[in-house]
């Protein structure tokens, strides 16, 4: 059976894992790594939730988790949990600042329609702000170029002041 110590060791081994598409942010900071728990059969489970169903990075994320577990000799399995659905409200403030520093405008979420699930709160209807500040110069004078950026979870924007293109991580 998994003990609190072994669960803590697993959490520590996973702490360094970054998102394959945004390597400056950890899976934990993004809220993709939901937690580590003991399954009903006593085997440790690492729970992950995709940013959206069909996210192509999930296979790589699962492979990275399995490799980290193998590296410490942990007997554990990866569980992909789709409900409740991931929301940008699960991103830490550290993740948002890392996105901005990396050149991606972080999501602007509205938590007006929050529902609580355990200790996690999420917004079912995140509202996109009309103004997305440029992560380079912080100007609010920006325009959406495309609803889809480098990945489906981001939109492509352009700053009308510094003229730099940038991705905006869409709120969910």
- What's the CATH code of the domain at 25? 3.30.300.130
Q: Which helix (H) or strand (E) holds 70?
A: helix 58-71
For 8-66, the pLDDT digits (tens) are 999 999 999 999 999 999 999 999 999 999 999 999 999 999 998 888 899 999 999 99
pLDDT band at 123 (very low <50, low <70, confident <90, very high): very low
Q: Answer yes or no: do 127 and 70 share one domain.
A: no
pTM for the whole structure: 0.81
For residue 5, is pLDDT > 70? no
Instruction: Tell me the two tokens of residue 123.
Output: 């917004």
Looking at the 3D structure of the chain, how many domains does it have? 2
Q: What is the pLDDT of residue 53?
A: 81
Range of the domain at 132: 104-169
Q: Answer yes or no: do 18 and 59 share one domain.
A: yes
Which residues lie below 8 Å from residue 128, measured CB to CB, with a gap of 6+?
108, 170, 171
Q: What is the pLDDT of residue 111?
A: 45
- Asked if the structure places residue 88 within a domain, the reply is no
Nearest residue to 132 (alpha-carbon basis) of 97, 110, 158: 158
Q: Does residue 5 sit in helix, strand or coil?
A: helix
- Asked if the structure places residue 92 within a domain, the reply is no
Q: Answer yes or no: do 75 and 9 share one domain.
A: yes
For residue 117, is pLDDT > 50? no
Q: Compute the distance between CA of residue 20 and CA of residue 3 in angstroms, rounded to an integer.
A: 30
Q: Compute the distance between CA of residue 167 and CA of residue 169 in angstroms, rounded to an integer.
A: 6
For 80-109, the pLDDT digits (tens) are 999 999 999 999 999 999 999 999 999 986
pLDDT band at 1 (very low <50, low <70, confident <90, very high): low
Average pLDDT on 136-157 reads 93
Q: Answer yes or no: do 156 and 119 share one domain.
A: yes
pLDDT band at 113 (very low <50, low <70, confident <90, very high): very low
For residue 119, is pLDDT > 80? no
Which residues lie below 8 Å from residue 96, measured CB to CB, with a gap of 6+?
106, 107
Nearest residue to 3 (alpha-carbon basis) of 76, 69, 67: 76
Q: Compute the distance between CA of residue 111 and CA of residue 169 in angstroms, rounded to an integer.
A: 16
pLDDT band at 163 (very low <50, low <70, confident <90, very high): very high
Q: Answer yes or no: do 17 and 76 share one domain.
A: yes
- Asked if the structure places residue 121 within a domain, the reply is yes
Q: Answer yes or no: do 10 and 54 share one domain.
A: yes
Which residues lie below 8 Å from residue 145, measured CB to CB, with a gap of 6+?
156, 157, 158, 165
């Amino acid at each position: 059976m998994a003990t609190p110590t072994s669960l803590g060791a697993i959490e520590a081994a996973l702490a360094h894992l970054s998102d394959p598409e945004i390597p400056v942010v950890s899976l934990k900071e993004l809220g993709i790594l939901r937690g580590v728990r003991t399954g009903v059969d006593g085997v440790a489970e690492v729970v992950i939730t995709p940013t959206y169903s069909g996210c192509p990075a999930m296979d790589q994320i699962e492979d990275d988790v399995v490799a980290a577990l193998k590296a410490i000799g942990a007997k554990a399995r990866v569980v992909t949990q789709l409900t409740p659905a991931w929301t940008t409200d699960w991103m830490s403030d550290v993740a948002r600042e890392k996105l901005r520093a990396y050149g991606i405008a972080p999501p602007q979420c509205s938590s007006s329609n929050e529902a609580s699930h355990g200790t996690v709160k999420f917004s079912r209807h995140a509202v996109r702000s009309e103004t997305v500040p440029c992560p380079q110069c912080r100007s609010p004078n920006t325009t959406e170029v495309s609803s889809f950026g480098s990945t489906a979870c981001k939109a492509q924007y352009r700053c009308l002041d510094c003229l730099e293109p940038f991705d905006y991580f869409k709120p969910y």
